[in-house]
Amino acid sequence: VLHLLQTAWSGPAIPRVVWEYGEVSLVKFSETGVSNYSTLLLNEDRGVLYIGAQEAIFAVKMTDISNKTSEVYWKVTERKQKACAAKGKSRETECLNYIRILHEFNNESLYVCGTYAFQPTCDYLSIKNFTLQGRQEEGKGKCPFDPAQRYTSVMVDGELYSGTVYNFLGSETVILRSHLRTEYAIPWLNEPSFVYSDVIRESESSLDGGDDKVYFFFTEVSVEYEFNSELLVPRVARVCKGDLGGSRILQKRWTSFLKAKLICTLPESNFVFNVIQDVFILKTPNWKETVFYGVFTSQWSNLEVSAVCAFNMSKVEDVFSKGKYMQSATFEYSHVKWVRYNGQVPTPRPGSCINNEARTLNVNNSLMLPDKTLQFVKDHPLMADPVKPIGNRPTLVKKNANYIQIVVDRVRALDKKLYDVMFVGTDKGLLHKATNYGNEMHIIEELQIFPDSEPVLTLLLSKGDKKNLYAGSHSGVVQVPVAFCEKYRTCMDCILARDPYCAWNPQNKICTWITKEDTHESNLVQSLNGTAAACRAEDVESASTEEYKVKPEGFQELKCLPMSRLAKVTWKLNNKALSENSKYRVVQNNLLFSVTEEDSGTYDCWTVETVKGRQYEQLVKRYSLIVEGPTKVLTTSPTAP
Amino acid sequence: VLHLLQTAWSGPAIPRVVWEYGEVSLVKFSETGVSNYSTLLLNEDRGVLYIGAQEAIFAVKMTDISNKTSEVYWKVTERKQKACAAKGKSRETECLNYIRILHEFNNESLYVCGTYAFQPTCDYLSIKNFTLQGRQEEGKGKCPFDPAQRYTSVMVDGELYSGTVYNFLGSETVILRSHLRTEYAIPWLNEPSFVYSDVIRESESSLDGGDDKVYFFFTEVSVEYEFNSELLVPRVARVCKGDLGGSRILQKRWTSFLKAKLICTLPESNFVFNVIQDVFILKTPNWKETVFYGVFTSQWSNLEVSAVCAFNMSKVEDVFSKGKYMQSATFEYSHVKWVRYNGQVPTPRPGSCINNEARTLNVNNSLMLPDKTLQFVKDHPLMADPVKPIGNRPTLVKKNANYIQIVVDRVRALDKKLYDVMFVGTDKGLLHKATNYGNEMHIIEELQIFPDSEPVLTLLLSKGDKKNLYAGSHSGVVQVPVAFCEKYRTCMDCILARDPYCAWNPQNKICTWITKEDTHESNLVQSLNGTAAACRAEDVESASTEEYKVKPEGFQELKCLPMSRLAKVTWKLNNKALSENSKYRVVQNNLLFSVTEEDSGTYDCWTVETVKGRQYEQLVKRYSLIVEGPTKVLTTSPTAP
């Protein structure tokens, strides 16, 4: 209690390099009159990125998204729009058709849903001639009514799984697949805000005949905790692909819905990140090695602090398949409290998928589950044990930023090791590219990807050799390469970037993007631990000299733009360090002084960057200043000094 | 859930004026070789400030604390020090005698306690000859063992009430008066950190024959809430002065110990300030009008954010005398949960002081209380209803500061209204002087009162006409006037300070400290709502002109030091606004440029301060720059431009 004030953050987490908007060239896509490019779908076999926006769907080339190949508009009818406005919604902003779902349905068509003026509707889109087939389906429970509502969906073997709102008012929320859904009950879902869902193909490598599982990630109001006000908790939930519902109890309801709490907490200060914003699943051939990354913020969000936590999927499975359940109990007829249930649990285990063990009990599908098991899972959807992050702490913590989107790339570096590179989007249109080198957080780059600091609504990552990120926002879509190796002009900058995608080529003196073949090449230099000793002296003093002729009047500003924000700047005149005095002033790394005739000389801007206790010096800019004679003969006579 | 990211703080709460250390003259006291000046006691009748430090007690004049009148040293014996070190404590830092309690005992003596090498000991100090009387008493339960432990104590009618640790290990904590103490039970006190205690003389104006009450303020680990980890709660507790303990149940224990939660929360974001750091009680003749101020921080304190909440004492009394109790219940033999108790409550009401109602039941003191009442209060020390702050929100919220001490002065301003001026000390040696003008937070001044940014350990306020603050720290004590009116040199600065202590005298053109008589004087100008329209034009342009001769070489910096941090600076040359260009640069309000022969002229630094939508301009500094001829005749011939 007493030492609370002394806890500190693990590090500043300052991005080493910051690219302002326009500093790196990005390919953009937007269409006049169309906004809200929130839904992206990538098909790498076809080389196409599908974009769902306000009342329109586009297909663009994935290698150059400015190259539009097809488009189709899907507008709301006048009558629908009027009906929507009559219910009190805004005709101009809410009573439109915001495309929210874009999935591959089969080789011929995409499945598309839109909010459709608060009357969610789905249709099929022919890939060949890019037209809607007019087979409109009810979108309720698949797609949100309100364009501002959060939702998630995933298409698994032709069936849509969704987490969203079920009614106009937004009071009913479901996790749904066709006729199967969650119960309307607070213990099942309590004001959830869905962020992500995906399938894990467990059946492919399961020893116990287990089923594929669909995982959902969301934040909801907790039932098990209370404080002054409602406490939010981040959750992972799952259902089994083979679930058919119960026969008497839980008819048309999931019999395999279980959920658990995710923990993302700074252990030294017990600071809790309790709002999950997005998830990225790094799938592996063996599902047990699957890792997922979540970005989290805090419920008390005026603090502007975010974290990334990584979790093992096998730990989630352990909690669901072996953990204890939570149980509610009523006090004095009114207070409901939740506690760990220590009593007996029926068999087959409630909430588990049909596996070999169930089959030996003659339970071959969920319709055959005994009432006892069904009643238990109906009453106990919440697990007692939480899922803890890898290393029991966040992988990345960042102050003064709200992280809302994430994708992760697993990269094989020159040292042949695998590194997970996180790409995180903020609510102000920034993209952070970060790694964690042995508990040392390192933000390689910050990049402004949208001009007006709008939120990053969606983030996708392509596979293949030269990878790209695709980010959607209100105003458009941008295509961002995962690295800007060529921007690092010196060996030192290339190495100190500690970017797994980049290595220094000493022959050509360029920072290059490493390809798969390069990992066998020995002359490239990469040092992700930040040791730049391999850079030779000539590289260090590689700055070009700028000749600069000035008159001995007025005041001069010599600019220095070091690439690294982690570096400190010093100025030298004819190789002697300059100190700030009445003559020289350093303002934002630039040298300011008033020029006299004696000031000709060589002005050098040097940076010092400290990595793991070692200092690296680099000449960033050299000016050869030549002061020319005065512009006119002065006729005034000398005065006393 | 979705709109969490959009909540914002109510205001920046930037101190309008900042005084660095040394900018205002403060009277200091410290003694060579003595540290830890943590305990202060003021006797205004005697005009003396008593100071308890490490192994020493001093008496200094309250009007000039650098004037020491008496001193006495109270060192630990060699034997005690050895015994303490043998128990694993630091001989140099912990095994000393830190004076922690200094109270008026009677007209002849003070009551003094010290940690005494982890064996707390008390004694009496003769006021006349300033010597310890050698009547050493056991200090266990009155004074902490460990100098780092927080504690509180108050002397009421010759009896010491204390909240502190009772044993060497620090595992037992008590609220104690002589032989009466709290139960050792988690529901009574759960790892409390005591911050303040004082008596409220309710008996003087009580209609129901009620007793005086002693209130305690502390932070403890909650029993009623849980989240990922232990949740702290700020508490107010009280006992009755007339309590004698129970006869069978609660023998030698308080029969009147009740506690409740204090709430200090930002309603718009539900941000919870759950650690109370200090309390100041503004006593009033009628106790029901008593208001107390608490400074709070958050359990997740790496956020550096603090709040001041004000509470009505009558609301505390309402919770204790009319509110529901909390009740514990056990689930499945192991989980204890706390819920509101809605059942019947025995009479006399458990935990209440003996009043007329009890006396009609023939209960004249606590020994006569029935077992049912005693057993109930033993099991239900915690009230269900919290105490909410005045206005249901903090009076002051400050980011990037840890508030740890507070005193409050109720000042009658020129408009004859009363204003509560808060003086808040931080953990970095800063003092903030702030007011709340109709839900508008205003920090009048920030003042660095200690040179080495050490925590403000204690803060006292004198009464009387020209009030002073006394602040203790590790290195010494400082005496700080409550206002620095004379530092405001212009009418505008005096008015815009919005300092209830200060007013502008238009005749003498000085900012003066208002005294009681001044409130009847009509020619003084004060405008706490920040309207400075009363300042006449000649006052606005009152800056002195500085003549400044320079040579047409080198680069010049014209300094401008505006008093207000809320003001924006603009520079004018010969009454025309200067914009930043290749010639002029403004760095931290100063104008930088390189001088040529054409640059003679009048350079003005103006500030614009916006208060409630109105802008106030002020000339802060005027330079009359005279560029003299060059120092030597230049012989170079003209070159092409």
CA distance B366 to B373: 10
Q: b/e for A42-65, b at 16 or more Cβ within 10 A? A: beeeeebbbbbbbbbbbbbbbeeb
At residue A521, the pLDDT reads 65
- The dihedrals phi and psi of B637, each to the nearest 5 degrees, come to -85, 160
B520 three-state secondary structure: helix
Is there a contact between B297 and A638 if contact means CB atoms under 8 Å apart? no
Closest CA to A98 of A47, A139, A126, A62: A139
- Residue range A543-569: average pLDDT? 84
Q: Which residue of B has its CA nearest to A275?
A: B1
- Residue B379 clears pLDDT 90, i.e. is over it: yes
Q: Which two structure tokens, joined as six digits, stand for B48?
A: 């003396």
Q: Which two structure tokens, joined as six digits, stand for A629?
A: 């004679």
SS3 content of chain A, % helix, strand, coil (to 5): 10, 40, 45
In total, the C-beta contacts within 8 angstroms joining chain A to chain B are 192
**Residues B377 and B258: beta-carbon distance below 8 Å:** yes
| Mutation target among A268, A555, A559 for the B interface, most CBs of B within 10 A | A555
- Residue B635 clears pLDDT 70, i.e. is over it: no
Return the number of other C-beta atoms located less than 10 Å from residue B321's C-beta.
Answer: 15
Phi-psi region of B433 (alpha: psi -120 to 50; beta: other; left: phi over 0): beta
Beta bridge partners of B218: B194, B235
**Residues A29 and A40: beta-carbon distance below 8 Å:** no
User: Could you report the per-residue pLDDT of A381-427, keeping only the tens digit for each?
Assistant: 999 999 999 999 999 999 889 999 999 999 999 988 999 999 999 99
**DSSP assigned state of B414:** T
**Residues A30 and B301: beta-carbon distance below 8 Å:** no
Does the domain at residues B486-538 carry the CATH identifier 3.30.565.10? no
Q: Which residue of B has its CA nearest to A274?
A: B228
**DSSP assigned state of B385:** S
Pairing of strands B17-19, B440-448: parallel
Contacts (Cβ under 8 Å, ≥6 apart) of B529: B437, B498, B612
Helix H or strand E segment including A629: none
- Residue range A516-532: average pLDDT? 78
Closest CA to B175 of B155, B161, B186, B190: B161
Cα angle value B615/B621/B627 (rounded, 5°) = 135
Helix H or strand E segment including B355: none
Q: How would DSSP label each residue in A220-246? A: EE-SS-BSSS--EEEEEEEEETT---B
- Residue B477 clears pLDDT 50, i.e. is over it: yes
| Mutation target among A145, A228, A309, A380 for the B interface, most CBs of B within 10 A | A228
Is there a contact between A585 and B587 if contact means CB atoms under 8 Å apart? yes
Helix H or strand E segment including A43: strand A39-43
- Facing A5 at nearest CB: one of B301, B339, B639: B301
Q: Which residue of A has its CA nearest to B593?
A: A555
Q: What percent of chain A has pLDDT over 90?
A: 70
Pairing of strands B173-177, B180-181: antiparallel
Task: Answer yes or no: is the ipTM higher than 0.90.
Answer: no
Q: How far is A103 from chain B (nearest CA, A)?
A: 25
Is there a contact between A554 and B583 if contact means CB atoms under 8 Å apart? yes
Does the domain at residues A11-180+458-482 carry the CATH identifier 2.130.10.10? yes
CA distance A60 to B271: 45
Contacts (Cβ under 8 Å, ≥6 apart) of A22: none
- Residue range A318-325: average pLDDT? 96
At residue B417, the pLDDT reads 92
CA distance B349 to B258: 12
The reply to whether A182-276+313-391 and A486-538 are identical in fold is: no
CATH code linked to domain B543-627: 2.60.40.10
Q: How far is A171 from chain B (nearest CA, A)?
A: 13
- Residue range A557-582: average pLDDT? 89
pLDDT class of B354 with cuts at 50, 70, 90: very high
**Residues A37 and A51: beta-carbon distance below 8 Å:** yes
pLDDT class of B281 with cuts at 50, 70, 90: very high
Is there a contact between B301 and A4 if contact means CB atoms under 8 Å apart? yes
What sections of A425-580 are H helices per DSSP?
491-496, 537-540
Q: Which long-range contacts (CB under 8 A, 24 or more apart) does A412-415 make?
A: A412/A516, A412/A519, A413/A500, A413/A514, A413/A519, A413/A526, A413/A528, A414/A503, A414/A514, A414/A518, A414/A519, A414/A524, A414/A526, A415/A526, A415/A528
Chain A residues touching residue B637 (CB < 8 angstroms) = 629, 633
- Residue range A351-371: average pLDDT? 94
What sections of B35-93 are H helices per DSSP?
78-86
How many Cα neighbours within 13 Å face the side chain of A549?
Answer: 6
Q: What percent of chain B has pLDDT over 70?
A: 93
At residue A402, the pLDDT reads 93
- Residue B494 clears pLDDT 60, i.e. is over it: yes
**Residues A143 and A122: beta-carbon distance below 8 Å:** yes
Q: Which two structure tokens, joined as six digits, stand for A315?
A: 């730990």
Reply yes or no: is the peptide bond before residue B348 cis, omega within 30 of 0.
Answer: yes
User: Could you report the per-residue pLDDT of B105-118, keeping only the tens digit for each?
Assistant: 999 999 999 999 99
CA distance B407 to B423: 5
Q: Is the dihedral of CA A360, A361, A363, A369 positive or negative?
A: negative
Closest CA to A254 of A192, A183, A308: A183
Cα of A161 vs its chain's centroid, Å: 22
- Highest mean pLDDT (candidates A231-245, A298-312, B568-582): A231-245
**Cα distances (angstroms) measured from residue A155 to each of A146, A159, A352, B486:** 21, 5, 22, 74
**Residues A336 and A330: beta-carbon distance below 8 Å:** yes
Q: What is the CA radius of gyration of chain A?
A: 29
Is there a contact between A555 and B555 if contact means CB atoms under 8 Å apart? yes
At residue A458, the pLDDT reads 97
May I ask the CATH architecture of the domain A182-276+313-391? Answer: 7 Propeller (2.130)
CA distance B53 to A386: 49
Cα angle value A321/A324/A325 (rounded, 5°) = 100
Helix H or strand E segment including A216: strand A213-221
- Residue B6 clears pLDDT 50, i.e. is over it: no
Bigger pLDDT: A270 or A222? A222
CA distance B56 to B538: 55
Q: Which two structure tokens, joined as six digits, stand for B496?
A: 């815009």
CA distance A311 to A236: 11
Is there a contact between A300 and B231 if contact means CB atoms under 8 Å apart? no
Chain A residues touching residue B628 (CB < 8 angstroms) = 639
Cα angle value B426/B429/B434 (rounded, 5°) = 50
Q: Which residue of B has its CA nearest to A342?
A: B332
The domain segmentation of chain A, as residue ranges, is 11-180+458-482, 182-276+313-391, 486-538, 543-627
- Facing B636 at nearest CB: one of A221, A583, A629: A629
Contacts (Cβ under 8 Å, ≥6 apart) of B437: B498, B528, B529, B530
- Residue B421 clears pLDDT 70, i.e. is over it: yes
- Residue B2 clears pLDDT 60, i.e. is over it: no
CA distance B215 to B320: 12
CA distance A336 to A330: 5
Burial class (CB in 10 A: 0-12, 13-18, 19+), B300: buried
pLDDT class of A333 with cuts at 50, 70, 90: low
B402 three-state secondary structure: coil
How many Cα neighbours within 13 Å face the side chain of B29?
Answer: 30
Contacts (Cβ under 8 Å, ≥6 apart) of A418: A410, A411, A412
At residue A638, the pLDDT reads 43
Contacts (Cβ under 8 Å, ≥6 apart) of A459: A278, A405, A406, A407, A423, A425, A469, A470, A471, A472
State the Cα torsion B48-B54-B55-B59 to the nearest 10°. Answer: -10
Query: Whose structure tokens read 């997970």?
Result: A420
pLDDT class of B452 with cuts at 50, 70, 90: confident
Is there a contact between A335 and B340 if contact means CB atoms under 8 Å apart? yes
Helix H or strand E segment including B189: none
At residue A588, the pLDDT reads 86
| Mutation target among B303, B330, B334, B551 for the A interface, most CBs of A within 10 A | B303
